[in-house]
Structure 1
Amino acid sequence: MIEWAPLGSGARPVPEPAAAPLVWAAAFGGALVLVAVVNSVAGPGRPGLALTVLSLLAALLGLCARFTAAPGTAILCWLSLNGFAIPPAGTLTWSGRRDALWLGCLLAAAFTGTALARVVHARAAYRRLATAPDPGAPEPGGG
């Protein structure tokens, strides 16, 4: 059964996810920066390391995004991975299974981050509502 609680009773709404264009801008810029850092620190031609770092970025961005932003986030991260983490840099290619697997990993990371955020926010909202005082109940000790 659903019970409505007035907002003045201490219940706070679940945070609103960020807009998809904002998440995509962060994915585009963040992916370029992270691939550049991986290429400069570990050397070019390390797509496995770059995929891991970009998957973490996709999951982190998923924490503040809607589910509808996940495909765009994965594609933008994949573009940076494919274009700059694999020699020759600056050339987009499609290598069937490999790129499908990379896209799948990035998409799964973005969806996982978003699902995790939704579960954490829902549990927190449930706890706040479950512990909020009932506005119609008598005061304790005020018999």
Structure 2
Amino acid sequence: MIEWEPLGTGAQPVPQPVATPLVWAGAGAGALALVALLNTVVGPDRPQLALTVLSVLAALLGLCARFTAAPGTAFLCWLFLNGFAVPPAGVLTWTGHRDAPWLACLLTATLIGTALARLVHARAAYRRMAPGGARPDPGRSP
């Protein structure tokens, strides 16, 4: 008996990540907008909420970025967090017991977003390469 299996449409390229300067521009503009919104709605005395929101922004930006953009993205988000979400507003300070974990949290969020995007793209590329768009069954003979 002959079984017809549709072949894939051919190899399709994995989407290229967005250029690093564009990711950094998004990080700067997005962090500024989110911190301004939080300061207006909630007030400037909620740095943990600002850290959470900026971590989500960093992870979302990581979805379309290269791994090399992660440190700059985390640093830009931290600048706006430290400068405008922590009183006194407009003053950059370094408090090691607070700022080092915040910076690590933002960097981790960015790296998780980037790694997740790479895994999703790699899995989609693998599925496109298999006949019919599905994983081949190793126990099945042709």
Equivalent residue, structure 1, for 2:19: 19
**Shift of residue 121, structure 1, vs aligned partner:** 0.3
**1:30 matched residue in structure 2:** 30
Q: 2:102 & 2:52 partners in 1: Cα distance? A: 10
Per-residue deviation, 1:44: 1.2
Aligned to 1:106: 106
Task: Give the structure-1-normalised TM-score.
Answer: 0.85
For residue 132 of structure 1, report the CA deviation from its aligned partner: 5.3
Aligned to 1:53: 53
Alignment correspondent of 1:129: 129
For 2:83, the equivalent position in structure 1 comes to 83
- What is the alpha-carbon root mean square deviation over aligned residues? 1.4
Per-residue CA shift, 1:16-67, capped at 9, x if unaligned?
0001000000000000000011111111111000000000000000000000
| Alpha-carbon distance between aligned partners in 2 of 1:10 and 1:127, rounded to the nearest angstrom | 11
User: Are positions 1:63 and 2:55 aligned together?
Assistant: no
Q: Distance in 2 between matches of 1:25 and 1:93?
A: 23
SS in structure 2 at match of 1:111: helix
What percentage of residue pairs aligned between the two structures are identical?
Answer: 74
SS, match of residue 44 in structure 2: coil
Cα shift at 1:75 = 0.2
Q: Deviations along 1:80-108, whole A, 9 cap, x unmatched?
A: 00000001100000001210000000000
Residue type at the aligned position of 2:51: L
- Runs of 4 or more above 3 Å deviation: none
Code of the residue aligned with 2:36 in structure 1: it is A
Name the residue aligned to 2:41. 41
Gap runs ≥5 in structure 1: 1-7, 134-143
Question: Do 1:59 and 1:109's aligned partners in 2 also have CA atoms closer than 8 Å?
Answer: yes
Residue 10 of structure 1 contacts residue 132 of structure 1 at CA under 8 Å; is this kept in 2? no
